């Protein structure tokens, strides 16, 4: 039990940080959407993200903390991830440019979370508890309520 708590604590900080930064990401995307084209905005977002990661890699290398590995499959899945992020970023710019509200983002992200949860259950042998199934159903319901 104590080991499980320690493991959870080791990743929880990163979960909170990711939530804060992805929330800020959407706020800034909304602020930029009527001041820049969707393609250029997406390119600037992804380019600055790539630069940020490059600085992180340089930090790891410079301070002797390099722990980066790769494989062909890892690179391929990362490319697919990048394609999804790039197109998703353009979709968010278009959503906001077409008048979509910032308040719709949590429901959109919950829909994505439901897709991830379903994939976890179907492909990664994660437990399909009744509460998890309820969460998936509620997330998908929230996404479809956006149309109302």
The CA distance from 30 to 27, in Å, is 5
The token pair at 32 is 């930029």
Nearest CA to 40 out of 96, 89, 102, 79 is that of 89
pLDDT tens digits, 8-22: 678 889 989 999 999
pLDDT tens digits, 107-135: 899 999 999 999 999 999 999 999 999 99
pTM for the predicted model, two decimal places: 0.85
pLDDT tens digits, 41-81: 999 999 999 999 999 999 999 999 999 999 999 999 999 99
Tell whether the model's pLDDT for residue 5 goes beyond 60: yes
Domains of the chain by residue range: 11-145
Asked whether 111 and 138 are in contact (CB, 8 A), the reply is no
pLDDT for residue 54: 98
The CA distance from 20 to 64, in Å, is 29
Question: Quick one: residue 94, left, alpha or beta (phi over 0 = left, psi -120 to 50 = alpha)?
Answer: alpha
């Amino acid at each position: 039990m104590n080991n499980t708590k320690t493991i959870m604590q080791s990743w929880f900080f990163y979960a909170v940080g990711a939530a804060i930064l992805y929330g800020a990401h959407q706020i800034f995307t909304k602020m930029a959407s009527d001041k820049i084209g969707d393609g250029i905005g997406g390119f600037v977002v992804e380019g600055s993200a790539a630069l940020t990661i490059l600085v992180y890699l340089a930090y790891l290398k410079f301070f002797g903390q390099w722990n980066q590995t790769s494989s062909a499959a890892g690179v391929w899945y990362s490319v697919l991830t990048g394609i999804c992020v790039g197109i998703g970023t353009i979709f968010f710019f278009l959503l906001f440019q077409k008048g979509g509200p910032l308040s719709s983002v949590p429901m959109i992200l919950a829909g994505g979370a439901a897709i991830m949860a379903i994939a976890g259950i179907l492909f990664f042998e994660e437990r399909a508890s009744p509460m998890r199934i309820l969460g998936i159903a509620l997330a998908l319901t929230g996404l479809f309520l956006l149309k109302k």
